[in-house]
Amino acid sequence: MVDNKTELKRSIGLGTAVTLVIANMIGTGVFTTSGFIMGDLKNPAAMLLCWFMGGVLA
């Protein structure tokens, strides 16, 4: 019997790892902080203004 096993090489480079971390931070941050902001401000327009100002500062 011939045992031919072909395995894929699993590797993540530095660039891929950095973009994965950034994507996870942005993805969860949008859903997490919007609830906290709305709890404090209770005004959707003020929340959007805070998001806009944060984007400009970033």
The whole-angstrom separation of Cα 40 and Cα 50 is: 12
Residue 30: domain span: 23-57
Per-residue pLDDT of the chain (58 residues; tens, 9 = 90+): 667 788 888 888 999 999 999 888 888 877 888 888 889 999 999 999 988 998 899 8
The answer as to whether 33 is a domain residue is yes
Residue 14 inside a domain? The answer is no
Instruction: Count structural domains, the chain.
Output: 1
Q: Are 22 and 9 in contact (CB under 8 A)?
A: no
Whether 12 is in a domain gets the answer no
Residue type, 2: V
Phi-psi region of 47 (alpha: psi -120 to 50; beta: other; left: phi over 0): alpha
Question: Rounded CA gap, 31 and 13, in Å?
Answer: 28
